[in-house]
Amino acid sequence: MRVRYYADAEVRNWHKQALRCLTTVHDQHDITVEIERIDEQHGQLPEFPGEVRSTTPEDVYERDLKRNQTLNKRINETPSQAYKRHGTLEIAGNVAVVADEGSVEWASTLPGYVDGYMPGVESETAMDFLEDIAADPNSRICTECCVQLDGSEQFCPGCGTDLS
């Protein structure tokens, strides 16, 4: 499993915090992290412990999100509703969980924190997800099979991995 950040988040502080969280996820939990830079807004990136690629929102949408059946089942909207609001691609600032073979298994649909939206969307926001997995990946996701967790499970309901 790896974590992919579609950079840059619009708000500079979110962007900087995302980079900090990803570095922690890599250093503390030994999870591969990477950046797809689709909207450069905040200048040069600091040193980063993963691959950084420059690409376009269109390419990312076609490759990762559009017609992605697994993603479609795991988010509340269809990918086109979630990432193509009002006909414009809005992907930057989101994060995705990518399986070893390369498919996107889950992605946030709201950049930033739940505070900026409404209560109850914690499972959809990018920054809450990043901060949660930086603290404890098992609070949100099984690193073996990418099934989503709520932190109360002792064993992964997807693959049976002991999470304790």
159 is a site residue for Zn ion (CB under 5 A): yes
144 is a site residue for Zn ion (CB under 5 A): yes
Q: What's the closest the beta carbon of residue 96 comes to Zn ion, in angstroms?
A: 17
Instruction: Report the residue number, 52 or 159, with the smaller CB distance to Zn ion.
Output: 159
Q: What's the closest the beta carbon of residue 160 comes to Zn ion, in angstroms?
A: 7
Instruction: Report the residue number, 3 or 35, with the smaller CB distance to Zn ion.
Output: 3
Candidate list 21, 31, 156, 163; residue touching Zn ion; CB under 5 A: 156
97 is a site residue for Zn ion (CB under 5 A): no
Candidate list 145, 148, 149, 153; residue touching Zn ion; CB under 5 A: 145
DSSP string, the chain: -EEEEEEPPSSHHHHHHHHHHHHHHHHHH--EEEEEESS--S-S----SSEEEE--HHHHIIIIITT-HHHHHHSSS-HHHHH-GGGS---TT-EEEE-TTS-EEEE-SB-S-GGGS-TT-TTTBHHHHHHHHHH-GGGTB-TTT--B--S--SB-TTT--B--
Q: Which residues bind Zn ion (CB under 5 A)?
A: 142, 144-145, 147, 156, 158-159, 161
